[in-house]
Amino acid sequence: MRATRCATPRKPRPGSPSGRQAWLAPRVHRLHHRPVRTLRAGRLTRCTGQTPGRAGRQSPPACHIRIFRISLVKHAGITCAGRRVPDQARRGTRNLRGSVMSRIYRSLCLAHAMDALRQGLSHFSGTSRVALLMSLKRGDHLRVYDPQNLLRDHEPRLRETMLDHIDWMLTGPPMRGISPHEQHPLPDPQLTGLIAHACRTRHTWLQVWFTEEHPGMCSTGPTRCWLEYAANQLSLDLGTVGSLRAGVSAFLLQGYALHAVRDWIVDQRNRAMGPDTKLRVYPTLDAVLGISHTREEGAWPEGRLAFIEPAWCERLDYLARFPAHERPLLANLRHCRKMLQSVTGSDRILVSDGVSITGITREKLPPCTIVADYRGRHGFLWLDAELVCSFSDGSFHSSDRRPNLVHLEEFLFEARCTAEEQQKLRRVALRIVECAQDRKHGCALIIDLGTPPRTLAGQSLVTPVDLDTDEGLSLACALAKVDGALHIRRDGALHGFACLMDGLSVAGENRARGARFNSALRFTANKDDLMVIVVSADRPVSVIQRGVELTSACAWLPPSTFATPPLLEHWIQGP
């Protein structure tokens, strides 16, 4: 039965609330339910008492009672006994609840930003880790968010820069002097092997972001722009508590590769030419990626395409220049791909003003020119003489696509090879691996440092082939196509090819990999003085020693969402 309000208002009883509370009192009587929240021992508890009504009257729906309870306590502030909750107690409870929610929301923002940034950088640069040092207000202690232990082994440097000498943190404008979408850069902590970005924003006193500097990166510029954007997004998240925009920031951070490359190019061009430039970078990058996966008669694109400032187009010396009304537009990817055939396999360059293709030249290009160097299924992006990134499969990457043989260098150093032997073996291994990758075939190299030299089952040679000469190295690259492995000893000479790698089954074998990879695991399991480099036909390079793939990477588990980051001084002392 629906309750209706009486035409004649009731007179408040002695001791009953007046004013707004007197208007609310009849509604409490009609709903036959008293306010359900009261303050006991400094906290809000639920009251289940209920006043019986007349026979035949139904209780209102639970959702209506719940809404009424909340509005009654919020606006009238009365208890079950009709007494008013003290304002100070209500404010204290609200502040306690707000602080708990702020802490949970802050932890949620941190977890979303860190995980999204890690995933985005892993697609751009390979498996990556990220870490963050942050202080919300001036005078607050620094907290460390390092779920994958990226900053471990850097404790002495962190103690020196973050705890002992903090003068650099006190420089710069106050937080209120920075607009919400800007940040004040701070000095780089200079940790070895890490890329860092430190700044102060409107809502954070200090943010220092870290990620790994992978060997073989074309440039660290796009990654630094990525970290700068992460700092900006986290500051906006923390400054808008309750808006739940953390999911939006995570989405933006994870797919920021194209924007990071664009930001870096724009920053470099602005420093050299000023902000008043006509070449639009976003359409340029879209055209680069579009042409990269457009095949012509089954062939992948090869050649160079230069994007120059439109003001320079009239001053360039062309081999062939197209009329303005007949220039192929960059939006027509198929036409541009056909025109790229005119510069394939030569030193000629196709020229564009960012809108259309203007002609073909061989002259030295003007400054701040973006050059896309297509090399089949992949390519490289240059800004003048600086390598920015590579591209393949329709996306940008930070790798220079050269094989990573850092583990070979460590192996040679630990084996106490001379500097001359190390240099020779590195050069030989690098040349053979690159040759196999370019020809798109698999191979295996056995780097044998054992004494006395061992003899392997395979095709032996009467006289070892000297790999110091170009002819001998070219022969070794050709023999690498034969099934089996090349046998290279400490002297840097080729002692055999088509060698068999056998051994007992070991843990860690991967059926998803080929026979060459698993044979190398078995072959090296009980041998400490040799290393095997395996090149697959689809380009991955694996370095195997003692039955373990040294180039493998473990998947990082996502951190706890609501974990509170520890203080820096406690984190340095260890667990």
b/e map 8-19, b = 16+ CB within 10 Å: eeeeeeeeebee
Q: Which residue has the tokens 């695991």?
A: 521
pLDDT score of 562: 60
Structure token pair of residue 450: 């054992």
The whole-number pLDDT of residue 250 equals 85
Selection from 48-52, 162-166, 207-211 with the highest mean pLDDT? 207-211
- CA dist 283 and 350 (Å) reads 17
Q: What is the pLDDT of residue 249?
A: 84
pLDDT over 60 at 79, yes or no: no
Q: Where are the domains of the chain?
A: 94-272, 281-397, 405-549
For the ranges 50-54, 449-453, 466-470, the maximum mean pLDDT occurs at 466-470
Local confidence band at 103 (pLDDT 50, 70, 90 cut-offs): confident
Please report the pLDDT score of residue 167 as a whole number.
77
CA-CA distances (angstroms) from residue 438 to 105, 299, 305, 377? 50, 16, 22, 11
Taking the chain, what is the end-to-end CA distance rounded to the nearest angstrom?
A: 64
DSSP 329: B
Tell me how far CA of residue 255 lies from CA of 12, 42, 222, in angstroms.
63, 47, 13
Tens-digit pLDDT profile for residues 382-438: 999 999 999 998 899 999 988 888 889 888 988 888 889 999 999 999 999 999 988
**Distance between CA atoms of residues 187 and 196, nearest Å:** 10
pLDDT one-digit tens code per residue, 240-256: 765 666 678 888 899 99
Is the model's pLDDT at 97 over the cut of 80?
A: no
CATH number for region 405-549: 3.40.1700.10
**DSSP calls for 441-496:** --EEEEEE--SSPP--SSEEEEEEEETTSHHHHHHHHHHTTSSSEEEEETTSEEEE
The answer to whether 381 touches 390, Cβ cutoff 8 Å, is yes
Give me the amino acid identity at 283: P
Chain segment 7-60, per-residue pLDDT in tens: 444 554 555 444 444 434 444 333 344 443 433 333 333 334 444 444 444 444
Q: Is the pLDDT of residue 557 over 90?
A: no
Instruction: Output the pTM of the full model.
Output: 0.77
Res 473: pLDDT: 93
CA–CA distance, 411 with 446 (Å, rounded to integer): 13
Under 8 Å between Cβ of 450 and 529: yes
Sequence-ordered list of residues with C-beta below 8 angstroms from that of 91, at least 6 positions apart, any chain = none
Cα distances (Å, whole numbers) of residue 241 to 99, 174, 201, 202, 251? 11, 21, 16, 14, 18
Distance CA 230, CA 253 (A): 7
Is the pLDDT assigned to residue 104 strictly greater than 90?
no
Compute φ and ψ for 212, nearest 5 degrees.
Answer: -80, 145
**What mean pLDDT do residues 466-480 have?**
93
| Token couple for 245 | 């925009």
Token digits for 122?
A: 């892993």
DSSP state of 317: -
Token representation of residue 512: 């998803």
Comparing C-alpha atoms, which of 340, 395, 358, 335 is closest to residue 279? 358
Cα separation, 415 vs 509, in Å, equals 26
Whether pLDDT at 554 is above 70: no
pLDDT of residue 170: 75
> Beta strand pairing status for 530-535 and 485-489?
unpaired
